[in-house]
Amino acid sequence: MSDPFVSPYFGPWDPNIKRLAAAHPILFRNRPPRIWSDLASGWYSAVDQLCTRIETTLPADELPNLKFKQLKEKFGTLRIHIEYRGSYDSPTWNTVRALIDAAQEAADRSCQDCGAQAELRQHGGWYLTLCDQHFAERISK
Ligand SMILES: [Zn+2]
């Protein structure tokens, strides 16, 4: 069997994605998300906590109906996409949706480099969520 965490097209997956999938084998089916993804180190704990909350909040028989589709950064913020094999009008999905929103909001306040308290910054045409220290490092380069 080939390693599912090495793409024939893109090469090895982000180590943070691989670590997250290993920590939450049911939600990830021991595989990467369906769409190529990356996860900034400072946002790892927000997504790790999201997985744990899903695992502890939902009935165990619902977990195999959920699967990560993609994790990515867009305009300096974390975007979390999860697929649900069920009704998107159901209480289950409403619960998951609220947990995803909370995780994205936590990431909005967390430095993408280190996880410390942060805010959205603009630098050189890019949006970045950074703490004071990491923002100072970026603008000094
Ligand atoms: Zn930082």
Q: What is the pLDDT of residues 82-129, one digit of tens each?
A: 999 999 999 999 999 999 999 999 999 999 999 999 999 999 899 999
In angstroms, the Cα distances linking 136 to 25, 73, 122, 123 are: 38, 21, 12, 11
Instruction: Average the pLDDT over 7-13 and give the result.
Output: 93
110 CA distance to ligand 1 centroid (A)? 8
pLDDT at 2: 83
Q: How far is the CA of 14 from the centre of ligand 1 (A)?
A: 19
User: What distance in angstroms lies between residue 136's CA and the mean position of ligand 1's atoms?
Assistant: 10
Rounded distance from Cα 130 to ligand 1 centre (Å): 5
SS3 113: coil
Whether the pTM exceeds 0.85: the reply is yes
Closest CA to 117 of 127, 128, 109: 109
Cα of 95 vs centre of ligand 1, distance in Å, is: 30
For 129, the enclosing helix (H) or strand (E) is: strand 126-130
| Burial class of residue 72, CB neighbours in 10 A (0-12, 13-18, 19+) | middle
User: How many A from CA of 102 to the centre of ligand 1?
Assistant: 20
Predicted pLDDT of residue 1: 63
Give 134's contacts (C-beta < 8 A, 6+ positions apart): 111, 113, 114, 118
Residues listed for the chain: 141
What average pLDDT does the structure give for the chain? 96
Task: Please say whether the beta carbons of 123 and 111 come within 8 A.
Answer: no
pLDDT in tens, 48-94: 999 999 999 999 999 999 999 999 999 999 999 999 999 999 999 99
